[in-house]
Amino acid sequence: MTYETLLVEQAGAVGLVTLNRPDALNAINTRLIDELNQVLDGFERDASIGSILITGSRKAFAAGADVKEMAPLCFPGTYLDDFLGRWDRVAQRRKPIIAAVAGHALGGGFELALMCDFIIAADNARFGLPEVKLGVIPGAGGVQRLTRLVGRAKAMEMVLSGRSMDAAEAERAGVVARVVPLAELLDQALASAQAIAAQSRTAVMMLKECVNRVDEGSMAEGLRFERRMFQAVFATPDQKEGMGAFVEKRPPQFGR
Ligand code: CO8
């Protein structure tokens, strides 16, 4: 299957998606988000895929939603079509998704990266929500997610000024899991995705649910949910295998 805006391949148990609109610095148009959702649907169904990696080019992960596509839009058309409504499906996925970000991750591009479970950044990465400079605001959850990550003061300063942060600041602020040299980005992100895909699928998906629960509810409810998941994991063969392998001093063989 070929796509107009994406390159899609499988590297072992990792589904790899490369955003591919080089002439527009990977600006995200309707076609791209529809194709991405289609690919992620397939990865979710495919038992041979254990984790997903989304990346862009060395120059841009994505420089925003496609301004040229959005410029003529008007309300109530955006409302009636639920413009951006389909974006959030990226955040609803159950398998883990890593964003490997080099270059610009701006506006909707940053929002897409923030929908992933974590970001590994190249040292040339830049993150920002510059929508205010276009007379608009972010609309795909970026303000909510950024504020939860970096706190009110830094989020407020960034969205009101539209300034971006470099990779080092993003790491200090907790936006990215780690920063690696640009030349090593894909190898390191793939190694991370492969390591995750080699773990127990059940444990990985339960952990993703538990971490996401932090943002969704109260502490008490989150603690209860995490304990229930922990108890449930003892119903899986992976628990027997993982703990048994430790006791027997051998590597575990998790089921697929
Ligand atoms: N949309 C459409 N085209 C873009 C975009 C974009 N966001 N960004 C870059 N391009 C295009 C340029 O128009 C240019 O095309 P052309 O050669 O045909 O003129 C090409 O990509 C290369 O760009 P530049 O020549 O500008 O490259 P530079 O290296 O000089 O500059 C920058 C790079 C600084 C990243 C610059 O391109 C820029 O400022 N881009 C716009 C960044 C921006 O404002 N992003 C936010 C967009 S608004 C948004 O994302 C709203 C989100 C709302 C909710 C999200 C869900 C959709």
Q: In this structure, which residue's CA is closest to atom 41 in ligand 1?
A: 63
67 CA → ligand 1 middle, Å: 7
Higher pLDDT, 87 or 191: 191
Helix, strand, or coil (residue 249): coil
* Res 76 pLDDT > 90: no
Nearest by Cα to 91 from 237, 178, 208, 207: 208
Strand runs (DSSP E) across 63-205, as ranges?
Answer: 97-101, 104-106, 118-122, 126-128, 164-166, 178-180
- How far apart are alpha carbons 125 and 164 in whole angstroms? 10
Residue 222, pLDDT score: 77
Phi, psi of 5, rounded to the nearest 5 degrees: -120, 0
Nearest by Cα to 203 from 44, 41, 95: 95
Helix, strand, or coil (residue 135): coil
Phi, psi of 54, rounded to the nearest 5 degrees: -115, 130
Helix, strand, or coil (residue 37): helix
**Residue 46 CB partners (closer than 8 Å, separation 6+):** 15
Q: In this structure, which residue's CA is closest to atom 13 in ligand 1?
A: 24
Residue 231, pLDDT score: 85
Known catalytic membership, residue 184: no
Q: In this structure, which residue's CA is closest to atom 27 in ligand 1?
A: 25
Average pLDDT along the chain: 94
**What is the ipTM for the molecules in this complex?**
0.97
- pTM for the structure as a whole: 0.94
Nearest-atom number in ligand 1 for the CA of 104 is 35
Known catalytic membership, residue 71: no
- In this prediction, residue 56 has a pLDDT band, given cuts at 50, 70 and 90, of very high
Nearest-atom number in ligand 1 for the CA of 87 is 56
238 CA → ligand 1 middle, Å: 46
- How far apart are alpha carbons 61 and 225 in whole angstroms? 34
How far from 177 is each of 10, 117, 163, 168, CA to CA, in Å?
Answer: 23, 10, 21, 11
> Could you check whether the bond before residue 72 is cis, i.e. omega within 30 degrees of 0?
no
**Residue 76 CB partners (closer than 8 Å, separation 6+):** none
Residue 226, pLDDT score: 82
Q: In this structure, which residue's CA is closest to atom 43 in ligand 1?
A: 64
* Res 5 pLDDT > 90: yes
Residue 86, pLDDT score: 86
Higher pLDDT, 74 or 155: 155
Residues with CB under 6 A from ligand 1: 24-25, 27-28, 63-68, 84, 87, 104, 106-108, 111, 130-131, 134, 138-140
* Res 195 pLDDT > 80: yes
* Res 79 pLDDT > 90: no
Residue 129, pLDDT score: 95
- In this prediction, residue 9 has a pLDDT band, given cuts at 50, 70 and 90, of very high
Catalytic residue among 15, 50, 102, 111: 111
- How far apart are alpha carbons 1 and 29 in whole angstroms? 20
Known catalytic membership, residue 108: yes
- Residues recorded for the chain: 256
Q: What is the mean pLDDT of residues 23-29?
A: 97
* Res 70 pLDDT > 80: yes
Residue 98, pLDDT score: 98
43 CA → ligand 1 middle, Å: 29
Nearest-atom number in ligand 1 for the CA of 66 is 1
Q: What is the mean pLDDT of residues 167-188?
A: 98
Higher pLDDT, 165 or 88: 165
- In this prediction, residue 181 has a pLDDT band, given cuts at 50, 70 and 90, of very high
Q: In this structure, which residue's CA is closest to atom 38 in ligand 1?
A: 63
**Residue 176 CB partners (closer than 8 Å, separation 6+):** 101, 118, 119, 120, 121, 125, 127, 167, 170
In testing the pocket of ligand 1, which one of 67, 69, 78, 88 has its CB within 8 Å of the most ligand atoms? 67
- In this prediction, residue 10 has a pLDDT band, given cuts at 50, 70 and 90, of very high
User: Which domains does the chain possess?
Assistant: 6-197 (3.90.226.10), 201-247 (1.10.12.10)
